[in-house]
């Protein structure tokens, strides 16, 4: 893993940890904070950037700090469910994140927050292990 991939993997790990924290706070406090909205917007931009070649040419113009390296994408691919195509799993993540910043009832958002927290927890673990393995190899 090169320096750019190592930095990207570390950044993904930190972002995932942040997501887990923010979704946990929402589940506990049931309050849509500015922090939650900003985190969801960053995650949405990152996930939509993965779909860009097929569907969203305008996303390429947005500055996205995640999924810029092969290692970040490999970590993401490892988390995706084998029972669904990757594009479908990505659509579900995007829909869930959009739901978190919508006017849906709090009870629905709590369930969504739990799913997202679980996803980002696993993604963060994969990214952390990739980073750790790379650091140990050098």
- In the chain, the number of structural domains is 1
- Closest to 27 (Cα-Cα) out of 116, 102, 122: 116
d(CA 4, CA 71): 10
The answer, yes or no, to whether residue 16 has pLDDT greater than 90, is: yes
The pTM of the full predicted model, rounded to 2 decimals, is 0.83
Residue span of the structural domain in which 7 resides: 3-137
Q: What is the pLDDT of residues 91-126, one digit of tens each?
A: 999 999 999 999 999 999 999 999 999 999 999 988
CA distances from 1 to 10, 11, 136, 137 (A): 12, 14, 11, 9
């Amino acid at each position: 893993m090169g320096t750019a991939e190592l930095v990207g993997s570390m950044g993904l790990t930190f972002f995932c940890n942040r997501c887990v924290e923010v979704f946990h706070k929402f589940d506990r406090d049931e309050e849509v904070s500015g922090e939650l909205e900003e985190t969801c917007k960053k995650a949405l931009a990152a996930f939509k950037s993965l779909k860009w070649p097929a569907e969203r040419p305008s996303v390429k113009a947005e500055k996205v700090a995640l999924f810029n390296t092969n290692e970040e994408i490999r970590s993401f691919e490892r988390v995706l469910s084998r029972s669904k195509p990757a594009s479908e799993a990505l659509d579900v993540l995007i829909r869930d994140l959009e739901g978190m910043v919508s006017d849906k009832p709090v009870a629905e958002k709590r369930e969504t927050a739990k799913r997202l927290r679980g996803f980002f927890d696993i993604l963060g673990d994969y990214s952390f292990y990739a980073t750790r393995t790379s650091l140990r190899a050098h």
